[in-house]
Amino acid sequence: MENMELLKMVRERAASWMSEDFDPETRRQVKELLDNPENENELIDAFYRDLEFGTGGLRGVMGAGTNRMNIYTVSMATQGLANYLLRQFSGTAPSVAIAYDCRNNSRLFAETAAGIFSANKVDVYLFENLRPTPQLSFAIRHYGCQAGLVITASHNPREYNGYKVYWEDGGQIIDPHDANIIAEVKRVTGISQVKRDANPQRIRMIGEETDKAYLEKLKEMSLLPGAVKSRSDMKIVFTPIHGAAVKLVPMALRNFGFENIISVPEQDVTDGNFPTVVSPNPEEAAALEMALNKARETGADLVMGTDPDADRVGIAVRDDKGALILLNGNQTASLLLYYILKRWEETGKLTGNEYIAKTIVTTGMLSDIASKFGVECHDVLTGFKFIAGLMRRYEGEKTFVAGFEESYGYLAGDFVRDKDAVLSCALIAEAAAWAMDQGRSLYEMLIDLYVEFGLYRESLVSVVRKGKSGAEEIMAMMDRFRGSPPESIAGSEVMTVNDYLKQKSFDTISHLRRNIDLPKSNVLQFILRDGSLISVRPSGTEPKIKFYIGVRGNLDRREDYTEACRQLDEKANNILIALGVF
């Protein structure tokens, strides 16, 4: 009976999309779903709910339906955002910067949003072509906008697109604006409530002049121009994986002084179908395979690849045998942080008032490195918007050095308030040149850090569960872990349970509870007696639940690295088995 009632409700919602308010192609797609019984599951998934406007905006599969990314869900979200801006900044004409990446329909969605903002008397700065997400963050501050919008689904598969909202500080929306905007968007219940009479006079196209200003700020972040000059011919393979960094990263590298930049021509083609990869995610080894092959052909020292909106970067370096190996986000973050703080120390920039930020699932090695240099390390919830919120909180009081998240996102300096793969590529290349001048490679530098700070090994396993039933299964898994937390995992006693949804930390030995001074988030952490850290959380943007495993051991000599890694990887694997992931 419940399924029959759900199907009846879904068919009624779908039938409403057959009206003249919707374009012919949308009506055709909906009719096809309604007329073919084999499409029942797809019909339900497309219409069983409204696509949720979450704390960052929208993200979902593209197509017709209330639970899909299309010009109608984008339009209603934009009307809600415009209503909020007009109320929040009454008495003045607010302005919004808009950028978009290479994905199918990204330009259409960006232009749709620009038209609706302009119809609501909101001024718009619209990029004339695709641009990296960090440049959108920069543009908000550069042009004095009250908000920003980027159309992207980041590293998600090709069928996805998204709508990510920023505030006037250049960071993604956080409390209280996120909840207030969500409430305003929910008040827009139909396309008839949307003002669609665009005013072109309120839309200003931006491009090269913004690129120039952004690149000039990036160049100011160079920490060792001399090392770059002596290593200007270092061979660097770079791929944008069909995305928005295709021009900006090579330009930034050349501005830093690197001259030998080798492209992967097939992946320089802007294409939202990502024809050369299964997934445009630099966290996945397959996404960088073409770049690795190019590096093998050319003898390149460094490989870098960015995701479609250029806020994440994956890298490969040569190991002690000359073979190319991929580094994970925690390893790259550790190298980058050590380089930055070492150069700050050498140039006398450290005053004792500096801090870094990392997410709670990012390696603890960053905290150890920061401590060595007398720099505070702050943990925030997963999501770079919380790092941006911290930057806003301490602005004028403390000096922000850098921020990191294990999912390949890094930021240095404060003129951008989101992870920035363009700047990160330039600084990573500079760190490689610096290491070379010391007679080391980045790989050797990483091993030396492990000898000094301890061998940290982290892994991430994602369990995908799609559709309505998948979302319910993920929720049930979290409820089970929360309601009956394990007493031990893989033979090691659970010492502490951190529940970020309840904002409580429970010590299983003393039975004491303490408050967690962070916003609510559906994340659970288990800290084991042997120092292992397990974090479990549903993805906020994809139909999956993520298990983060962090283990740690000592490393006395470089020569012991391979065996020590094997032992720690075996421990991490046993943890996953104990949790029932494998």
Written as six digits, the tokens of 423 are: 């700047």
Let me know: does 167 contact 382? Beta carbons within 8 Å: no
Distance CA 563, CA 561 (A): 6
Let me know: does 415 contact 291? Beta carbons within 8 Å: no
Q: Is 93 helix (H, G, I), strand (E, B) or coil?
A: coil
Question: Active-site residue 441, yes or no?
Answer: no
Angle at 552 between CA 548 and CA 557, to 5 degrees: 140
Question: What's the first-to-final CA gap in the chain, in angstroms?
Answer: 35
Can you list the positions of beta strands (E) in 368-487? Answer: 376-380, 399-405, 409-412, 455-464
Distance CA 104, CA 110 (A): 11
Q: Are strands 313-318 and 324-327 parallel, antiparallel or unpaired?
A: antiparallel
Q: Which of 137, 154, 334, 441 is catalytic?
A: 154
Can you list the positions of beta strands (E) in 169-301? Answer: 203-206, 236-239, 261-263
Cα–Cα separations (whole angstroms), residue 323 to 194, 256, 319, 436, 481: 56, 26, 5, 17, 41
Angle at 490 between CA 488 and CA 494, to 5 degrees: 25
Q: Give which of 569, 581, 519, 509 is closest to 545, Cα–Cα.
A: 581
Distance CA 459, CA 364 (A): 13
Peptide bond into 176 cis (omega under 30): yes
Angle at 315 between CA 314 and CA 316, to 5 degrees: 140
Catalytic residues: 154
